[in-house]
Amino acid sequence: MKRLILLILLGVAAWYGYKNYKTVFEKRGGHDAVVENSTGRTMVRVRVMVDGQTLVKESLPDGQSAVLPFKVTNDATFRIEWEYQEVLGTHMWSGGMVPKGPMLQRHVFLVQPDHEVMYRAENK
């Protein structure tokens, strides 16, 4: 009797593995956070926080952009903090939204000279 139950369990596990092989071993892509610096200054200590994660870029010169890949397990909003190399003080922005769902997006944050951030999301 024990062997029969063990054989049935083994058969169910094999059937499940056969039917769901691609979804179990397939790598899922992720989202991208793109920070574009158009402030006229070098940004330092750039932190993008989303869904309990902190994505870091230590230095971002003017006119450059940084691509920070990430994955989420919940719907979440963004928070960005940065400083300037020449000036003391931390600047902060929060907003935008990233969905947990299957749709993958590129989230672009354009930081402007007046410390304002223009946010847009594009499908990947």
Name the residue ranges covered by the structural domains of the chain: 28-123
Instruction: Write down the CATH superfamily of domain 28-123.
Output: Domain of unknown function DUF5300 (2.60.40.2890)
Which pLDDT score is estimated for 24?
67
Provide the residue type at 1 as one letter: M
pLDDT tens digits, one per residue of 12-39: 988 888 888 777 676 778 999 999 999 9
pLDDT tens digits, one per residue of 47-61: 999 999 999 999 999
**Burial tier of 71 (Cβ tally within 10 Å: 0-12, 13-18, 19+):** middle
Nearest residue to 109 (alpha-carbon basis) of 71, 88, 76, 81:
81
Q: Give the pTM.
A: 0.77
Instruction: State the Cα–Cα distance between residues 90 and 87, nearest whole angstrom.
Output: 9
pLDDT tens digits, one per residue of 77-100: 999 999 998 888 899 999 999 998
Instruction: State the Cα–Cα distance between residues 123 and 115, nearest whole angstrom.
Output: 26
pLDDT tens digits, one per residue of 60-69: 999 999 999 9
